[in-house]
């Protein structure tokens, strides 16, 4: 009943011509030393990070951008779904209510309402629940599918969890090779931002009141990455640096905001809210 009320409320407050965006998270990781993520950062301190996900409600369809950690993590099965060392290091706080299906319900939708799932990349905190969306169109870079199924040896170590997507092989994939204007109106544009992984992608959203935002995901984890300290986990540091610079250029040219993948400072202020 609550969901039914939520659904009608959601449609009643629906947007005009453009998209609106809800910012949520699949729980937190940490605390751990920031230098474990960013080796060149000079000041040791413990941080918590949110596992950001965004729900984009466009007049032509509902979009989810990243699906967080697998539901097993909040069902007490971390050490069997992930390698045990990652459960110890990342310390996921995800509760069942933090998982994308429940987050959709909180704002009046169900997984069946989702037309498109955009996946930034195939790491466990971003692709974790794509199997909840068997009927959606899955937008991902073609290269990232290769990355998911056969990561480079130096990128193995637990970040790619094949059990997150092994039952999703026959889903409908819109395989991209670069940028793509999702609805053909310039309001939701997938932008290629490789480096963190082989085929990482971000999303640029143009809203009537909030303006233009770049949902960077792991192209930019935290503000320290914008200040010249590259992330410590990269497929290619050259591609990563080019992607950070690309995002900065778009930010400066379009007067856009950068909504980062794992910034607690941003999430505490801006999370669990609608933007339009």
Residues that bind Zn ion (CB under 5 A): 125, 218
Instruction: Compare residues 127 and 207 and give the one whose CB is closer to Zn ion.
Output: 127
Token pair 């999430």 is found at 267
Least distance (Å) from Zn ion to the CB of residue 75? 21
Least distance (Å) from Zn ion to the CB of residue 175? 21
Separation of alpha carbons 24 and 199, rounded Å: 23
Least distance (Å) from Zn ion to the CB of residue 218? 4
* Sheet architecture: strand order including 211-217: 180-181, 188-192, 201-207, 211-217, 257-260
Least distance (Å) from Zn ion to the CB of residue 121? 8
Least distance (Å) from Zn ion to the CB of residue 126? 6
Instruction: Compare residues 57 and 66 and give the one whose CB is closer to Zn ion.
Output: 66
Least distance (Å) from Zn ion to the CB of residue 183? 26
Instruction: Compare residues 10 and 73 and give the one whose CB is closer to Zn ion.
Output: 73
- The one-character DSSP state at 78 is H
Contacts of 6 (CB under 8 A, 6+ apart): 105, 106, 107, 108
Instruction: Compare residues 120 and 187 and give the one whose CB is closer to Zn ion.
Output: 120
Instruction: Compare residues 187 and 234 and give the one whose CB is closer to Zn ion.
Output: 234
Instruction: Please tell me whether residue 232 adopts helix, strand or coil conformation.
Output: coil
- Among candidate residues 263, 187, 256, 193, the one with its CA nearest the CA of residue 227: 263
Least distance (Å) from Zn ion to the CB of residue 124? 8
- Assess contact for 236 and 143: CB atoms under 8 A: no
Separation of alpha carbons 128 and 90, rounded Å: 15
Least distance (Å) from Zn ion to the CB of residue 120? 8
Instruction: Compare residues 218 and 224 and give the one whose CB is closer to Zn ion.
Output: 218
- Among candidate residues 157, 251, 149, the one with its CA nearest the CA of residue 202: 251
Separation of alpha carbons 106 and 89, rounded Å: 30
* Helix segments in 135-229, DSSP class H: 142-149, 223-226
Structure tokens at 77: 């099965």
Instruction: Compare residues 132 and 159 and give the one whose CB is closer to Zn ion.
Output: 159
Instruction: Compare residues 20 and 121 and give the one whose CB is closer to Zn ion.
Output: 121
**In whole angstroms, how far apart are CA 37 and each of 29, 125, 225, 261?**
12, 15, 10, 13
């Amino acid at each position: 009943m609550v969901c039914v009320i939520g659904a009608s409320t959601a449609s009643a407050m629906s947007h005009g011509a453009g998209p609106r965006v809800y910012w949520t998270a699949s729980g937190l990781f940490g605390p751990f030393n920031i230098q474990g993520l960013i080796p060149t950062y000079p000041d040791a301190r413990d941080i918590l990070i949110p596992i950001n996900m965004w729900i984009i409600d466009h007049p032509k369809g509902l979009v989810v951008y990243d699906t967080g950690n697998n539901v097993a993590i909040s069902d007490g099965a971390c050490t069997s779904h992930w390698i045990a060392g990652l459960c110890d290091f990342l310390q996921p706080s995800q509760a069942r209510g933090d998982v994308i299906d429940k987050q959709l319900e909180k704002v009046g939708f169900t997984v069946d309402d989702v037309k498109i799932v955009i996946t930034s990349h195939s790491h466990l905190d971003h692709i974790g629940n794509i199997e909840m969306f068997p009927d959606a169109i899955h937008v991902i870079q073609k290269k990232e599918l290769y990355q998911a199924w056969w990561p480079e040896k130096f990128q193995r170590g637990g970040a790619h969890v094949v059990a997150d997507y092994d039952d999703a092989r026959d889903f409908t994939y819109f395989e991209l090779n670069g940028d793509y204007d999702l609805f053909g109106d310039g309001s939701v544009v997938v932008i290629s931002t490789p480096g963190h992984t082989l085929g990482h992608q971000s999303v640029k959203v143009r809203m009537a009141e909030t303006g233009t935002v770049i949902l960077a995901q792991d192209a930019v984890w935290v503000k320290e990455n914008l200040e010249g300290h590259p992330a410590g986990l990269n497929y290619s540091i050259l591609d990563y640096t080019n992607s950070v610079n690309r995002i900065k250029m778009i930010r400066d040219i379009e007067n856009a905001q950068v909504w980062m993948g794992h910034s607690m400072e941003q999430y505490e202020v801006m999370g669990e809210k609608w933007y339009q």
